[in-house]
Structures are given as structure tokens and as C-alpha cells.
Amino acid sequence: MSRDSTMKRRRFLQATGGAASAVALAGCIGGDGGDGNGDGNGENESGNGNGDENESGEDVDLGSGDNILNLVNSTMTTLDPIASTDTASGSVIQQMYEPLTNYPNGETEIENTLIEGVEQSDDLLTYTFSLVEGAQFHNGEEVTANDVIYSWRRLAESENSSRTNFILESTFLTIDHETETQENDEGEEVEVVVPDSLALEAIDDYTLEMTLAQPNANALELLAYAAFAVIPEGYVGDIEGYDGEVDQSELATESPVGSGPFQFETWNPDSEAEVSRFDDYHGSVANVDGVHWQIMEDDDSIYTYAMEGSADIFGIPTAQYDPDLVDAETDDLGRQIGTYGPLENGETAQYNGVPQLSTYYLAFNAAHTPQAVRQAISYVNDHDELITQIFKERGEAAYTFTPPGIWPGGQDEYESFIEDYPYSAGETDRESAREVLEEAGYTQDDPFELTLTTYESDVFQEAGRILRDKLSGIGIELQLEEAPFSTLLERGTNGELAFYSLGWTWSWPEADYGFFGFEPENTVTGEPMQSGETNGYYLDWPESDSDAVEKAQNAWDQVEANPEPEEGLEARNEAYVQIEEAIWEDAIMMPLYHNLEERFHYEHVDIEPFGGMGGYQVVYNDVSLNE
Amino acid sequence: MTMTFIIIRMGPIDPVSAIIGPEGGAAQRSQIESRLGLNDPLWEQYTSFMWNLITFNLGQSWVIQPGRGVYSLLGTYAPRTLWLGFWSVLIALFVGIPLGFYAGLNPNTTGDYFASFGGIVWRSMPNFWLAVMMLAVLRQSERFFFGLDWHTFGVEIGSLVGQPPLDFFGVTGWTTIGLLSIPSGFYFSGTTLAASIKQVLPAAIVLGSASMGSEMRIGRTAVLETINSNYVETAKAKGLSNRIIVWKHVFRNALIPLVPIITNEAFVLIGGSVIVEVVFSINGLGYLFFQAAVQGDLPLVGSLMFIFVLLIVGMNIFQDFLYTILDPRVGYER
């Protein structure tokens, strides 16, 4: 028996071997490329491979029938507005809480929500807000000036606040306050805000006075940030003078109370979240009964959920995305509005694509990279190729740090500025790169070794591979590595990154925001920072020792010397353009692309297009479903 | 556990950066650091970390779900993973082993070839690929199965992806007898249970596919080995019926090499199902552990690690106990 089974087994193995390789081959052809990844901020999906199209066009059963708006979200962390720092939590927080102002539909012009109006004193420091009368919290109490003061004190004083800098530090809104010096556990002296010292005063129930330490042209825009949302006075006892009705952890997970158009129903971590209509909302009461988010991270999962009609509004992962299916026109706000389809399930989706106020870039640490190397890399980089090949046209080439939408002086100025891009725009210029490298003494035989650290993302790794291949043989040997987002930031702060990918998103639509990170002195890494300072980009720019550093420093000094919102604007704008020029001269940062945020929704959803501040800013009270 | 602490606290992963992102300032950093106790000397952090684990004081998550206790997170995430793990082990056991035994008892027949070949194919299909294919086929099931819609076939489910509903069984009332409370009312919903199984089934098949294949292969080998051994020959010579030979002599002995395989799989399924969990949006323990690890959420990683370790030790003890039942040569007495 055993003898003849050996004989047969050999033939059997031959057969299985052949069949197994046939299966593997089918995997390559039919595979959807399940390697999509977030790009670190979870705003964009990436991946490669081909989405399979559907020509059969059967009808699918769309929507669940009830009047609930179904959406997809990624992992949420907290429902406490002062603790939230991510857009996933932010988009849910937007539905339940209200700050004094907001960006309607995520557009870049702010709108009053909890206030009727505001008056500003002549010295531009004192703001007097008149609050909407009769606005109610979800627990039935009325919104008064004291609630606002309490909520903002929490932002400034609570140990749970992750955005203290938004209300206290000079690059943001600096409400006048006192600080005292305390010793922390290590015996170091740190400055902390004195409890109840914020210059906020309730004149009466509906009048609030706020005094800033220095004028800020964007104060009202800043107040639209969800961290400034109002909760009932004394609801949580995490600041001095209040015992609190609930613990902060309860507020953050199961009993949030705000004054927004929706109230909290459930949140099951990494599974789902739901809010329901608040009938006593002071503004326009929601049309839908509620909003439901299914929480999922994986591209295939999201795509399946959308294609089977479980989601009303959704995104399409890059792996399944086909730029040829978009049929859209650009409106006067620069948004693309139209249709996308046919989808895999035969439907045609409504399409809304909006260039975001964000910039993804590759930057260098000057202490680890000579100028010639930085310039050579800029020469070989081809923005257009990246956008078409890797991002499937879901983005706009970035030649400057500032996105065109907020360029000082507008779109025309921007276009004439980027005509002078010094590193061969739109082509791979290996010759010029070779020349600069040779001058600096780097050749094929004696190359400069450099490591590029990117997000944990296939797109950025792919971009890195393209760069590596273009640089090979002309004097730079590029290594690639990936790091989780938090690790990337930590190593950047310590000055351990020579060449890295990161992005910047504007929290309000002005060029002002973001340039503080280029002040050369502020880009020095590895030193313990002084209190009140904000991180610069991890450039160690002074190490570059070039004219550009001085130019940037002078420009920043000019910005600081002209803080007046209106009169100082021109001088500041001039300085920002100079900083952009300095970035070019020294090639210290290579902006790659401005994100194009896209939203798709089925025909039965009636929703306004969103704007440049991002889809997560949208409050869904004006959406209706016609199923 | 010490390794966990060293890797998380002394490696390049930084929970504070994960919390505040690139916009945070220096003051913000130091404030969060002191809230989390990261300013204390490292040895102090270490001793309090270890002491908390030993006393089962697992604390709260730092980064992933701040404000939620580790116990409540476990209560939320563990059932999803266990339900998935349960079905994938079950499918592997009840499909893989019988097929393997069948193949072993009928070697070199068409049925054997078919089963063995299937085993190799299932074994070699990678989970991440199979999961994606499963979704792609099922969401267009009308096209592939002649109009049969998977969503409405049998019990209706809302979506292919997402957590299976686990509230098919619940306790509605409690009675107290002395100090002991015992549940007095139950409800049970067959439809929800069916929906729950249907929801988890594709994921369970994907997750169980590899172990199904290997259990089949090992089961076949084990049966072949025992069936050719001397004592089976003896049993045949005694004139025992085939049924008694197979059930009494072959089956039990063939299970011995399978036991460590099965128990090993059980804890691989608990901790190692990240990819399948994410693709099917079940987001259970594996996903939680992965997220906690890359974002430096020390209390969460430490606690999960601790619980995994306890589970693995428990499984090993259980495995040894199973041996004593199956194999009379192994016992507690010397």
C-alpha cells in the first residue's frame, strides 16, 4: 500500500503545483490591490490596482428606508470639544456643539451661530458679543454668557484640554490673561494660566466682552474652531470653582451636551455613532431624524459599504477611483460640482471636489543635508507626474507652501509667482541636478547618502521610490523608511529626520497661519522649547548658513512688527512672499501637492456642496433625504 | 511585560505627539506630559506600571479612547473578536478535520485528491487577498450567483461590513437569593442570532481558511500514520469491525498531533486577526492592540499584552489537560 501511494503522490503534487500557480495568476489580474492606506491624516485614501467596473447596471436597494443620514467615519477618539484634535471626532462634535461662529458647509466665509453680532473697540482689542436669546442646550437650559466663559475657561485651564495654545498663545487667539510660575514634578519652572484670569466678562446674560492681549485679524475665524464650543456652565468639574455634574470621561464618551442641531444617541467605539435631531434647536431645525456614522478604516470595507447603498454620502478610495468617470464643472469658488459614474452598482453619484487649504510636502533638515542635495532633489522632482501617476489627479501640484486659494493678492499673483519656479517645473531635470551635485563634490562613485522618512502610506512611499530611481547614478543614494505619524513628529522634534514627508492644514483661511513655522530661529530642533512657543517645521534652517535664512528671518521680523489686522496686512503679505522665495532659494522644503477633497453622494440626498475648509466642518441640519 | 514597557516608553513612539498633532505648542506638550505622568522618573513609571498590572488596576487609555477605562474597552472590543474567533475555529474544526479524516481513510481516491487539493488551495490563499475578494464577490452577488442577493438571502442584513449584532441573547431580570444574584429572565432572538452568524460568516471563513487547510492536511497524515500502525493491524486481526477500529483506535490517536495545532490557532486568532477585522470593519481586539501599539498608548498596550499572556498560559494549561483525556500515557500521576 505504502509503495504505490508514493508513486501516486508525485503525480498528485505535479497537478496541485500547476493549479496553485493558476490561482496565483488570477490573483494578480483580478486583485483589487488591497494595500490602500490613509496618508497619515486620514483625509485621503491611496493604493494602486484597478477597480473593476460594472457594465451590467442592475438597480441596488439604496438607503435603509428611514429618515437617517448614513455616513462613514474613521476612528473617533473623544466627544469633548477641548480634547478633540482629529477630524473624525470633529465631524461628530460639529453636529452636537456650537461655537459662536462657524463655517457654513465648510466654506471659507464665517457665519454667526450663537451670536447676533459683534462690536469691536477702536484699539481692536475688545470684542463685545451679543448672544442669541433663547438658544437652548440639549438639557433644556438656556445658553448665556456665563456658559461661554465657563467653556472657554475649560479650554484654557482644564488639564484635559489639548488646545490650550489656541486660546492663550500668540500665534493664535491670545485672550488677555495672567500667568503664574509653578514648579512641576521635575522641579522645572513652568508658566501656567491663573484660574479665572481670562479677560472675559459677562455684562449681562446675553452680552459677553472679550479682551485680547494683541490684535488678531482672524479672531472670529478662530472662534469657529470646535474647541471653542459652548457647554452648560458647571457641567464638568475639571476647572477651579466647579464640582461638575458629570466626570470629564462621561462627557467625552457618553453624555455630551451642547446646543447644536443634533443631540447625542450612541457611540460604540470603532463601530458606530449616532446623533438624533434636537427639536428645540434655535437655528434651522434638522430635516433628517438623525445622522449615523459607521466607523471603518479599510478601503475595501468603505467601498463595499458605499456600493451596497448603506452609506448616503461617501468617499471613494483611490484604488477604486477612476478620474475619467468624473463629469464636473468648476464654480466661482473653485469647486468642482458634477457627477461621477457609473459606479460599480450602476448608479451615478453626485460629485463634489474641493481643493483644500492644505499642503503636503517633503522637507529637509539643514543640519543633515547640504544645499546642493536639496536643490538636486527639487530639480528631479516632477509635480505633474506625481499627481497623475500616484494621486490619480486627486490633487493639485504645489509649488509654494501657501495654497493658491489664500495666496496674498489672489490667484493671478499666484500664477505669475510660480512662473519663476527655479527647479524646472513639470519635468525631471537630471542634468541640472547632476551639475549642482558635481559642483558640491557628489558623484556617482561618491554619492551622498540620505534617508527619506514618510508617513505609513503607500502613496508617499511610491513618491519616494520614484525620486530614488531618478536620483540613482547622479550622486545621491536615497533610502526609504516609513514611520507612524506620532513617531514622525517625535523624531522631527528631536532633529533626527534628514528628509521627511508631512503636511499642513490651515485652520482658518488666511496666509498668516502656518508661516510662524518658518521663522529660522523657530525651526531649530532638539532644544527644549520655551513655554509659549510653537513648533517650527523641523528644518534646523539656520544651519544652512545662506542668504535665504537671513531673508526669511528679516521677513518674519517684518511680520511681527506689523500685527495690525488691516494696516499691517500689506507688509505682512510682502513678507510672506519673501519667505516663499527664501524657501525656493534654499530648497529647504519641497511642497508636493494640495489635497483635493472629494465627496460623493447618491441622488436621493439633497445637500449643498461643501467648501475649502473641509467636509468635516459640514453640519447636516439642512440636508434632506428623498427616498 | 518589561519588554512592552521598554519598547513603548524608550522607543521612538511618542503618545504626546499622537495626541496633539503638528499644531501643538511646547506648553501644551508639557501639560499633557504631566497629566499622563510622563515627567516622572522612568523607574517610577515602570514600578507603577507593573504594580498596576499585577493588581489588575488597568487604568484608562491615553491616546486611542481617552476617558475610557481599559476594562470597558475590553468589554466592547473583546466580544467582537471572540465571536469571530469562535466561528473561524469552529469552521476549521468541523470542516477541516472531518475532511482530513475522510481523506486519510480513503487515500488516493478521487475524493482524497479533491480534499487534499482543496486543503492546499485554502492554505495558500492569503487572508488579506481572500477577504478583499470575498467582499468584491458578495457585494455584487446578483451578478455572480444568478440574481441571488446575499444581503437578503436567508436573514436580511443591512451591510456586509460592520460588527455582527451580539444582542441576540440577554438577561432581562435578576433574582437575588441571599447574597447571590442569579438571572431569572432571558430573552433569545433566533433571527438576530442568524443575522449575527451571517454577518460574521464571510470573515470567519477567511480567517479560518488557513487553519482549515492545515488541519485537513495534518488530519490526513495522522490518520494515514495510525491506520498503518501495528496495533490497527492487530485490531483487524482480532476481527473488530471497521467502525470500531476507526472510532476507537484511529480517531483518538490521530487527534493527538492535532491538539497543539488547534490550541495554537486559537490564540493566533485572538491576537492575529487584525487584517481580517479591519477589512470587514469588525474592529476588535487585534485592531485595538495594533492602534494602541503604534500610538504609544502604554496602559492599553500593557493591559492587552497582559491579558494575551494570561490567555496563552491558560490555553496551554487547557491543552495539557486535553492530552490527559486523549492520551492515556500522559497523566497527573507519576
**pLDDT class for A51, splitting at 50, 70, 90?**
very low
Q: Which residue of A has its CA nearest to B60?
A: A249
Angstrom CA distances, A143 to A77, A98, A175, A260, stand at 26, 11, 21, 11
CA separation for the pair B134, B121 (Å, rounded) = 15
A33-42 in b/e form (b: 16+ CB < 10 A) is bbebbbbbbb
How close A168 comes to chain B (CA, Å)? 10
State which of B183-192, B213-222, B267-276 shows the largest mean pLDDT.
B213-222
Give me the half-sphere count of Cα atoms (radius 13 Å) on the Cβ side of residue A226: 29
Q: What is the pLDDT of residue B258?
A: 85
CA separation for the pair A231, A97 (Å, rounded) = 8
Q: Looking at the predicted structure, is the pLDDT value of residue A186 above 70?
A: no
Residue A484 CA to its chain's centroid (Å): 16
Rg of chain B taking only CA atoms, in angstroms: 25
Nearest CA-CA partner of B12 in A486, A457, A363, A495: A486
Which amino acid, one-letter code, is at A248?
Q
Angstrom CA distances, A60 to A348, A484, B109, B148, stand at 12, 39, 45, 13
Nearest CA-CA partner of A594 in A414, A351, A462: A414
B181-B182-B186 Cα angle (round to 5): 135
- Closest CB from A34, A162, A493 relative to B28: A162
User: How does strand A111-112 pair with strand A290-295?
Assistant: unpaired
Cβ contact, residue pair A487, B116, below 8 Å = no
Burial class (CB in 10 A: 0-12, 13-18, 19+), A189: exposed
The whole-number average pLDDT for the span B247-253 is 84
Q: Which residue of A has its CA nearest to B19?
A: A85
Q: Looking at the predicted structure, is the pLDDT value of residue A49 above 90?
A: no
DSSP designation for B211? H
How close B237 comes to chain A (CA, Å)? 17
Q: Which residue of A has its CA nearest to B287?
A: A270
Give me the half-sphere count of Cα atoms (radius 13 Å) on the Cβ side of residue B78: 11
A6 at interface of B, judged by CB pairs closer than 8 A: no
CA separation for the pair A498, A543 (Å, rounded) = 13
> Which residues 172-201 of A have a C-beta within 8 angstroms of B?
184-186, 190-191
- Closest CB from A1, A32, A297 relative to B136: A32
pLDDT: which is higher, A396 or B167: A396
CA separation for the pair A277, A265 (Å, rounded) = 10
**pLDDT class for A188, splitting at 50, 70, 90?**
low
Give me the half-sphere count of Cα atoms (radius 13 Å) on the Cβ side of residue A28: 5
Enclosing H/E stretch for B108: none
Q: What is the pLDDT of residue A408?
A: 87
Residue reference for cell 500557480: A21
The whole-number average pLDDT for the span B158-177 is 70
Burial class (CB in 10 A: 0-12, 13-18, 19+), A416: exposed
Q: What is the pLDDT of residue B20?
A: 67
The whole-number average pLDDT for the span A413-429 is 89
Do A580 and A422 contact (CB within 8 A), yes or no? no
Nearest CA-CA partner of B272 in B284, B262, B263: B284
Give tens-digit pLDDT for B109-156. 998 998 888 888 888 888 888 988 888 888 887 777 766 777 777 677
The whole-number average pLDDT for the span A168-177 is 81
Tell me the chain B residues in contact with residue A248 when contact means C-beta distances shorter than 8 Å: 67
In this structure, of A9-13, A128-132, A274-278, A511-515, the range with the lowest mean pLDDT score is A9-13
Average pLDDT, chain A: 82
Do A286 and A280 contact (CB within 8 A), yes or no? no
Reduced to 3 states (helix: H, G, I; strand: E, B; else coil), residue B39 is coil
The whole-number average pLDDT for the span A470-482 is 90
pLDDT: which is higher, B36 or A530: B36
The fraction of chain B above a pLDDT of 90, given in percent, is 1
**pLDDT class for A323, splitting at 50, 70, 90?**
confident
Do A120 and A135 contact (CB within 8 A), yes or no? no
State which of A363-377, B85-99, B275-289 shows the largest mean pLDDT.
A363-377
CA separation for the pair A242, A235 (Å, rounded) = 8
In this structure, of A2-11, B20-29, B174-183, the range with the lowest mean pLDDT score is A2-11
Cβ within 8 Å of residue A39, ≥6 positions away: A45, A46, A360, A455, A457, A459, A460, A503
CA separation for the pair B87, B67 (Å, rounded) = 32
Tell me the chain A residues in contact with residue B151 when contact means C-beta distances shorter than 8 Å: 61, 308
Cβ contact, residue pair B67, A30, below 8 Å = no
A532 at interface of B, judged by CB pairs closer than 8 A: yes
Reduced to 3 states (helix: H, G, I; strand: E, B; else coil), residue A341 is coil
Reduced to 3 states (helix: H, G, I; strand: E, B; else coil), residue A597 is strand
Q: State the CB neighbour count (10 A cutoff) for residue A587.
A: 24
The whole-number average pLDDT for the span A339-354 is 89
Q: Looking at the predicted structure, is the pLDDT value of residue A511 above 50?
A: yes
Q: What is the pLDDT of residue A297?
A: 81
CA separation for the pair B25, B29 (Å, rounded) = 6
Reduced to 3 states (helix: H, G, I; strand: E, B; else coil), residue A603 is coil
Residue A387 has which C-alpha cell? 499627481
Interface test with A, best of B16, B28, B224 (most A CBs within 10 A): B28
B224-B229-B234 Cα angle (round to 5): 130
Cβ within 8 Å of residue B334, ≥6 positions away: none
φ and ψ at A96, to 5 degrees?
Answer: -100, -30
The whole-number average pLDDT for the span A316-326 is 87
Residue A361 CA to its chain's centroid (Å): 13
Residue A347 has which C-alpha cell? 448608479
Q: What is the pLDDT of residue B138?
A: 85
Q: What is the pLDDT of residue A128?
A: 94
CA separation for the pair B254, B193 (Å, rounded) = 34
A493 at interface of B, judged by CB pairs closer than 8 A: yes
Q: What is the pLDDT of residue B198?
A: 85
CA separation for the pair A278, A10 (Å, rounded) = 72
Helices (H), A254-332: 299-307
CA separation for the pair A500, A463 (Å, rounded) = 12
Indicate the pTM of the whole model.
0.80
Cβ within 8 Å of residue B78, ≥6 positions away: B284, B285
Tell me the chain A residues in contact with residue B131 when contact means C-beta distances shorter than 8 Å: 34, 300
Which amino acid, one-letter code, is at B5?
F
> Which residues 343-362 of A have a C-beta within 8 angstroms of B?
344-345
**pLDDT class for A299, splitting at 50, 70, 90?**
confident
Do B311 and B270 contact (CB within 8 A), yes or no? yes
**pLDDT class for A44, splitting at 50, 70, 90?**
very low
**pLDDT class for A590, splitting at 50, 70, 90?**
very high
Q: Looking at the predicted structure, is the pLDDT value of residue A100 above 90?
A: yes
pLDDT: which is higher, B331 or B93: B93
CA separation for the pair B265, A425 (Å, rounded) = 55
For chain A, how are helix, strand and coil distributed in percent, rounded to 5? Answer: 30, 20, 45
> Which residues 165-224 of B have a C-beta within 8 angstroms of A?
none
Do A123 and A563 contact (CB within 8 A), yes or no? no
* Predicted ipTM of the assembly: 0.79
Tell me the chain B residues in contact with residue A535 when contact means C-beta distances shorter than 8 Å: 22, 24-26
Give tens-digit pLDDT for A67-93. 899 999 988 888 999 988 788 888 999
CA separation for the pair A611, A354 (Å, rounded) = 6
The whole-number average pLDDT for the span B303-317 is 86
The fraction of chain A above a pLDDT of 70, given in percent, is 86
Per-residue DSSP letters for A105-124?
GG-SS-EESSEEEEEE-TTS
Do A605 and A64 contact (CB within 8 A), yes or no? no
CA separation for the pair A291, A272 (Å, rounded) = 11
In this structure, of A54-68, A167-181, A191-205, the range with the lowest mean pLDDT score is A54-68
CA separation for the pair A477, A466 (Å, rounded) = 13
- Closest CB from A250, A271, A489 relative to B17: A489
Tell me the chain B residues in contact with residue A310 when contact means C-beta distances shorter than 8 Å: 158-159
Residue B163 has which C-alpha cell? 460588527
Average pLDDT, chain B: 81
Cβ contact, residue pair B136, A52, below 8 Å = yes
Enclosing H/E stretch for B95: none
User: How does strand A448-454 pair with strand A476-482?
Assistant: parallel
The whole-number average pLDDT for the span B147-166 is 74
The whole-number average pLDDT for the span A473-478 is 90
Q: Looking at the predicted structure, is the pLDDT value of residue A302 above 60?
A: yes
Give tens-digit pLDDT for A208-224. 999 998 888 788 888 99
Q: What is the pLDDT of residue B175?
A: 65
Cβ within 8 Å of residue A17, ≥6 positions away: none
- Closest CB from B14, B129, B161 relative to A301: B161
Nearest CA-CA partner of A257 in A161, A147, A153, A163: A147
Q: What is the pLDDT of residue A1?
A: 38
In this structure, of A187-191, B70-74, B272-276, B278-282, the range with the lowest mean pLDDT score is A187-191
A451 at interface of B, judged by CB pairs closer than 8 A: no
Q: Looking at the predicted structure, is the pLDDT value of residue A104 above 70?
A: yes
Interface test with B, best of A304, A347, A360 (most B CBs within 10 A): A304
Interface test with A, best of B32, B63, B117, B135 (most A CBs within 10 A): B135
Burial class (CB in 10 A: 0-12, 13-18, 19+), B275: buried
The whole-number average pLDDT for the span B261-270 is 74
Q: What is the pLDDT of residue A96?
A: 94
- Count of A-B CB contacts under 8 Å: 228
CA separation for the pair A247, A72 (Å, rounded) = 29
Cβ contact, residue pair A297, B281, below 8 Å = yes
In this structure, of A10-19, A30-39, A569-578, B240-249, the range with the lowest mean pLDDT score is A30-39
The whole-number average pLDDT for the span B14-27 is 66
pLDDT: which is higher, A262 or B172: A262
Tell me the chain B residues in contact with residue A20 when contact means C-beta distances shorter than 8 Å: 120-121, 124
Q: What is the pLDDT of residue A18?
A: 35
Interface test with B, best of A66, A301, A314 (most B CBs within 10 A): A301
Q: What is the pLDDT of residue A63?
A: 43
Give me the half-sphere count of Cα atoms (radius 13 Å) on the Cβ side of residue A176: 14
Q: What is the pLDDT of residue B79?
A: 85
Reduced to 3 states (helix: H, G, I; strand: E, B; else coil), residue B12 is coil
Q: What is the pLDDT of residue A7?
A: 36
The whole-number average pLDDT for the span A20-31 is 30
